[in-house]
Amino acid sequence: MFKKSFFYSIEGLSPKLISVILLPILLRLVNPTLWAEITILLAIQLFISYFLTHGDENSILKYTADENLIAQTCSSLIKYSTLTLFFFEIVALLVSNLPFSIIYGLPFRFMFLSTIFISLNKLFLSKIKSLGRAEVVFKATIFESLFINLIQLLGIALTVQIDGYNTRVVVTVYFLVQLLGNFFKLIYLAKNIKFKLSLIAKNFFLKKPKNFLSFSNLSLFLLLSSYFLNWQDKFFVEYIFGLSKLGVYSIASRIGNLGMVFIVAILVSANAKYWPKENTEEVSDSIFNITEDIIKISLFTFTSLSLIASTIGKYIIPKSYHESIDLIYLASFLIFLHTIVLIFSIDFGRLNRIKKVVIYNSTVFTSQILIYNIYEFSSLEEIYFMQIFTLLIFIPIFFYKTIYQYRNVLFRSIIFFTVVIITISTYLFFEYQIMQIFLFLLGCYTVFLSAQKWLVLDS
């Protein structure tokens, strides 16, 4: 299982890992306001991509035997994207400034065109995964990671050199490079499955099968509910505090999400090897032990992120983003709680209880929206505290049976992370050097514990 999870980790982590490695350099070229605009456009991009694919990427994996489905889904995507682009262009004639301080112009257009290629790539990747051609997926991901991140950095550096630090051309260059990278990736993937463009025209007016659509609709609802739960805070931070503060806030979340990608990779390989295919309420010893180990790995991963980033982060990123470092320990704990929900949701999927996960997501983000509109927030820390508070309330309500099963490891994990949070907040307040050294060494030790658990996961 370690070998598989290692491969999935490299595939999933490489884009984010390379972007995080290059992040300190990139942040010296992009001010918080422009970074916030990029964050909002990325959030809109993800939202649009869900509607363009309509959850079909998951259905392709399930109904892979039907060779015509990939052509029908691509045809459907082209139709939806054309209509959506036409809609945006009409809106742009009437309103130049969109909500959340977004200006409709070249950055938005490049973002949307890139979204079309990203969505098509999702469909092709699902088809390639269904064929078991993991090496193609790996090569495509590595190319995308290196090409997009490196060329974005070079393009933005050149733009700043020519046009200055505060130019919005930086945002345009960011999405133009993303567009080109995903276009080249699309060509590579289409070539590997020998996809013919003539198939799009041939299937342009054909409807997808009902069973295929039903599964896609369920997947879409799950994706959308998860999206609103995990991305709505970015929009509210911009609305309450403005673009500059959003730029600071998003960096803390971006670094924290690096741990989530790692845990997802482990879950994918664990799900393939250990979870039974039949619907049963019983949890075998192997599933129980593996789940406990993944919870521990998640704990050590996120505590190490918060400890190491809080102690040495200000030496790495520019001063304009130092406030982000003071938020990372809260962002890490929040994403750790999301990871716990994800671990439990895997088993809900096995038992055909996905609707319960959708209800959970909808309940949590609806309650958070109400709080955003009722409570008057005065700091970014309060945004994180509110989200953590709501998760700690609703997780036991919706997952009480699973919580009880894993009560011992969960209780110890929450206590350990709480102690880490209190210790980090004490260090950030007093900034004692002896505490900085201690916390950094503790962070290194938790990295070792996480790696050790991961290496012996099969035993």
Per-residue pLDDT tens digits of the chain, which is 459 residues long: 444 455 555 555 666 667 777 888 888 899 999 999 999 999 999 999 988 888 777 777 666 545 677 778 888 888 889 988 888 888 878 776 777 677 778 899 999 999 999 999 988 888 887 776 767 777 787 888 888 889 999 999 999 998 888 888 999 999 999 999 999 999 998 888 888 777 676 766 667 667 666 666 667 777 788 888 888 999 999 999 998 899 999 999 988 888 887 787 777 666 655 555 555 555 567 778 888 889 999 999 999 999 999 999 999 999 889 999 999 999 999 999 999 988 887 766 555 667 788 889 999 999 999 999 999 999 999 999 999 999 999 999 998 888 998 999 999 999 999 999 999 999 999 989 999 999 999 999 999 999 888 877 755
Domain identity same for 249 and 153 = no
Domain identity same for 254 and 282 = yes
The pLDDT, as a whole number, for residue 291 is 86
Domain identity same for 300 and 437 = yes
Domain identity same for 197 and 300 = no
pTM of the complete model = 0.84
Does residue 8 lie in a domain region? no
Domain identity same for 233 and 346 = yes
Does residue 24 lie in a domain region? no
Angle at 74 between CA 191 and CA 4, to 5 degrees: 60
Domain identity same for 322 and 452 = yes
Domain identity same for 70 and 145 = yes
Does residue 40 lie in a domain region? yes
Does residue 4 lie in a domain region? no
Alpha helix (H) residue ranges in 164-284: 169-192, 198-202, 210-241, 243-273
Domain identity same for 110 and 251 = no
Please tell me what DSSP assigns to residue 205.
Answer: T
Residue where a domain terminates, one of 208, 239, 255: 208
Q: How many domains does the chain have?
A: 2
Does residue 9 lie in a domain region? no
| Maximum distance among all Cα pairs of the chain, rounded to whole angstroms | 69
Residue type, 251: I
The pLDDT, as a whole number, for residue 20 is 73
Does residue 213 lie in a domain region? no
Residue where a domain terminates, one of 176, 208, 240: 208
Q: Which long-range contacts (CB under 8 A, 24 or more apart) does 143-147 make?
A: 143/184, 143/185, 143/188, 144/15, 144/181, 144/182, 144/185, 145/14, 145/15, 145/17, 145/18, 145/19, 146/18, 147/181, 147/184
The pLDDT, as a whole number, for residue 458 is 56
d(CA 420, CA 415): 9
Residue type, 26: L
The pLDDT, as a whole number, for residue 288 is 80
Domain identity same for 200 and 266 = no
The pLDDT, as a whole number, for residue 2 is 47
Domain identity same for 374 and 252 = yes
- The answer to whether 92 and 149 are in contact (CB under 8 A) is no
Residue 281 lies in domain: 227-459
Supply 133's token pair: 């051609």
| CA–CA distances in Å: residue 164 to residues 30, 159, 170, 181, 289 | 10, 7, 9, 25, 55
| Three-state SS at 352 | coil
Does residue 220 lie in a domain region? no
Residue where a domain terminates, one of 153, 177, 208: 208
Domain identity same for 192 and 305 = no
The pLDDT, as a whole number, for residue 136 is 79
The pLDDT, as a whole number, for residue 145 is 80
**Which residues, other chains included, contact 89 with Cβ-Cβ below 8 Å and sequence gap of 6+?**
none
Domain identity same for 87 and 198 = yes
Does residue 25 lie in a domain region? no
